Amino acid sequence: MEKLVSWLGDWRENSPRVRQAVKTTIAACAAFLIADMLELPQSFWAAVVAIMVTQASIGASIGHAIDQFLGSLVGAFTGAVVAVLVGNSSTAVQVLGLAGTVLVLGYFAAAWVQMRIACVNAAIIILAQPALGPPLTSASIRVTEVVIGTVVAIVTMLLVLPSRAGPALAEHVARTLPLYFGLLSDLLNAALTGRYDREAIVGTNAKIRAAVGTNEALRSQTRTEVAGFLADTPDPEPLLTSLRRLWHTELMLARSVASPLPATALEVLRPGIEELRDAVEGLRVQSGKYATDTRGHIRDTSDVQAAIAKLSALMVRLRETKVLAALPMDDAMRVMTFDFALEQLRQNLKDLANRNKDLALFAGVSVPAAAVRKQPSD
């Protein structure tokens, strides 16, 4: 029993998968039944299309629906034309017709994803005739099956356990925020100890890169829903821009601490780096709790802002005491890069904290007044 519970995981984590499975099942069965009632010769294609179109969110489903429809239309038309030209010729002529069609459509499929299904539909029409009747009839049947599968999938997404991209985006940001703060904490530890754990840092960086890619996909889906009047949420781009800038700043910081900071500089900066490390670690722990408890809040970054201000003051002392000027050029450049990255980090975190209201709107939850408080301006 324990193994079963472990395999299933907690309900909150697996709920989207269950919802997706239920919606896909309903869409596939409904599409097949409708196509069968209409006595279409290959009713199963409507079910196949419904399965492909039913996605995790309404925005994603609409995108796939458009791709399926356009691709099927192009494929059916192209396949019908080639089938008419080939007629009831020999197998060799059919193969030549198929090769030419797939070559052309495959070329465009490399740039436009909807052309992939065009290749499939064209091949079916060319090779299946005369079993499916005249080419034009076969093409019209194929388009009809695609339309049935697409429409049924969209209706199912709208009526059965509807899922929109905005809440999914908010939850994904919540779940991945600890990665950003964890990477930042690791980099500050590297600055303090002089030990740069390349394997761990590269691994975390790869996870953030994947998270950024998922954010971009959800942004596109959110915009599709807004354009179709299916959702009323703000543009997610400002929030995602803040996250990308934070990540890029961390990459800059990584370059500055990949080698140990000069001992003389670290002696002056150590108290400020330690305070900043502790504040960032607290932010990481808080964001981890937030990801499992609620959605819609980015934690207050005032402690981190105060630590950065203290570290900036230590950097001024570093310059005034001529310690920086006495360093070799390469070491001085790394310390200056470290200083510049900290200034960028201060601005990045302030921008991110000011996105609380947008994140809450995506999640569909209310935000405490303290959580949406504007960060102090410069």
How far is the C-alpha of 143 from the C-alpha of 140, rounded, in Å?
Answer: 5
The pLDDT value given to residue 4: 53
What average pLDDT does the structure give for the chain?
A: 84
3-state secondary structure string across 269-287: HHHHHHHHHHHHHHHHHHH
DSSP state of 56: S
Cβ proximity of 187 and 200 under 8 Å: no
- Count of positions (residues) in the chain: 378
Residue 3 pLDDT grade (very low, low, confident, very high; cuts 50, 70, 90) = low
Using the structure block, give the residue that is written with the tokens 């904290």: 353
What DSSP string describes 151-214? Answer: HHHHHHHHHSS---HHHHHHHHHHHHHHHHHHHHHHHHHHHHHS---HHHHHHHHHHHHHHHHH
For residue range 49-87, what is the model confidence (pLDDT) as tens digits? 999 999 888 888 888 888 888 888 898 899 888 988 887
pTM score of the predicted model: 0.76
How far is the C-alpha of 154 from the C-alpha of 158, rounded, in Å?
Answer: 6
Using the structure block, give the residue that is written with the tokens 């499992």: 292
Mean pLDDT, to the nearest integer, of 158-162?
Answer: 88
For residue range 23-50, what is the model confidence (pLDDT) as tens digits? 999 999 999 999 999 999 888 989 999 9
Would you say residue 349 has pLDDT above 80?
yes
Cβ proximity of 254 and 316 under 8 Å: no
Residue 366 pLDDT grade (very low, low, confident, very high; cuts 50, 70, 90) = very low
For residue range 269-292, what is the model confidence (pLDDT) as tens digits? 999 999 999 999 988 888 776 555
Would you say residue 367 has pLDDT above 50?
no
Question: What percentage of the chain has pLDDT greater than the value 70?
Answer: 87
The pLDDT value given to residue 294: 47
The pLDDT value given to residue 373: 44
Contacts of 235 (CB under 8 A, 6+ apart): 223
The pLDDT value given to residue 66: 87
Helices (H) and strands (E) in the chain, counts: 14, 0
Distances (CA, A) of 146 to 26, 32, 84, 121, 149: 16, 11, 22, 10, 5
Mean pLDDT, to the nearest integer, of 355-372?
Answer: 60
Q: Which of 185, 175, 237 is nearest to 207 (CA)?
A: 175
The pLDDT value given to residue 235: 86
